[in-house]
Homo-oligomer: A and B are copies of this chain.
Amino acid sequence: MKTEIPGFRFSVACAGIKQTERPDMALMVSNPPARWSGAFTTNRVKAAPVVMGLERLKAGVPLSAVLANSGNANACVGERGMADAKTLCRELARLLKVPENQVLMASTGVIGQTLPLDRMKDALPSLVEGLGSCSLEDLATAIMTTDRYPKWELSRPDRYPDIGIGGVVKGAGMIYPDMATMLGFFFMNAGLPQSVLREITRLGVQESFNQILLDGDRSTNDTVLVLDNGTALSGNRRADDVAHAVSMELGRMMKSLSERIVDNGEGVTKVVTVLVEGAKNRQDAKCVAESVAKSPLVKTAFYGEDPNWGRIMAAIGYSGADIDQESVDIYLDQAQLVSSGQFAGGVAEHKAAEVMKNRAYTLRISLRQGEATHRLTTSDLSVEYVKINADYRS
């Protein structure tokens, strides 16, 4: 029995959703039922499990189980989508002997195909039977789609050895063909109040999964769930100290896993942190960072290891932010490429070109207009990206 975080048990199964031998279903169970919070895609086109998640979250009922599947997004299939999700949750609730509204689904994969309901129902008994047989790493492996490696973490906040925090994510994020999804599941036993749980989920996601940008596409299925079953010893400690420690650790874990999603993206050869400083306000800082991180011309220059600062200047200029081109400085790690809106010279360019040979580096843009900053992690746009996304299905 693997119990990395007290009260949580995991299992995986292969239901043939993807018609491969690899696991494509995963079950996560908490006993006792967990308080939870979540973050879902803001896409107006939402998969059925996302709609269900938003309803359950609003209802405020605790969660006993989460059923995840890959290979099929259960999106854009009309009323069948919600009906199938409900059927699976009902059947699982019966097997687990818990209320139906304590069971939630999360799906990722191809849009517009109905779930293979019978095969998935048939897999449920063995999933329930197998509970406790899987580690976080097994779970992270089972929810992989085109991910190149499993992404998971387990840690304990300093000073509170009885509190465990675990996280698994699958990504390749927006890069994966057919908009398959970023999914993230976080498990803890800290016993935080609901309001605190909601707030640290919101903040954690904002500073991590909302600050990675591969191609700017957003999925119909993106889901992050944070479950807290409160099984840690209560003992003699201040609730706000615990909340602070857990918040810091969860935030760090989300940040770390989000960066691994970028690193792991298909076709990614460069992982670039875009750091905008000195903007007039947060909105401007964000505009500039996203404009640069989305620009195909900038991203192909990352891929070509070309310190093509003119493209960066242009993307800053059309971002919509209030900037003064004569005040812009641009650095690649320590190499200053642009000084007051002008080229910093051949030596600097040579140094910048050296930096760009690395797999990971920071592009720092100083606007010198104010105090606001924004940070994003992004990737290059490679020939491999286009090939992967053009060749899929053909």
Contact = CB atoms under 8 A, between A and B. Distances in A.
Given A43-B317, A325-B45, A342-B112, A394 B78 contact: no
Contacts of A308: 177-178, 392-393
Contacts of A381: 296, 386
B389 A297 contact: yes
B310 A112 contact: yes
A310 B343 contact: no
Given A311-B178, A383-B386, A389-B304, A342 B76 contact: yes
B386 A303 contact: yes
A177 B112 CA distance: 38
B77 A218 contact: no
Interface string A301-335: 10111101111011111110111011000000000
A383 to B, nearest CB: 5
Given A217-B315, A314-B219, A78 B43 contact: no
A42 interface: yes
A382 interface: yes
Contacts of A300: 385-386, 389-390
A112 B386 contact: no
Copies in the complex: 2
A241 interface: no
B218 A318 contact: yes
B296 A76 contact: no
Given A179-B314, A323-B44, A394 B343 contact: no
A326 B178 contact: no
A7 B181 CA distance: 61
Nearest to A319: B44
A391 interface: yes
A243 interface: no
B316 A393 contact: no
Contacts of A215: 295-297
A389 B243 CA distance: 48
A346 to B, nearest CB: 12
A170 interface: no
Given A112-B309, A310-B112, A343 B304 contact: no
Given A311-B179, A313-B111, A216 B296 contact: yes
Contacts of A360: none
Contact of A216 (B219, B294, B311, B323): B294
Q: Which 5 A-B pairs have the closest CB atoms?
A: A111-B310, A45-B317, A304-B390, A300-B389, A43-B317
Given A76-B341, A111-B310, A112-B343, 8 more contacts: A44-B319, A44-B322, A76-B313, A179-B297, A218-B314, A300-B390, A304-B394, A382-B386
Contacts of A363: none
Interface in A346-394: 381-383, 385-387, 389-394
B301 A389 contact: yes
A232 interface: no
A220 interface: yes
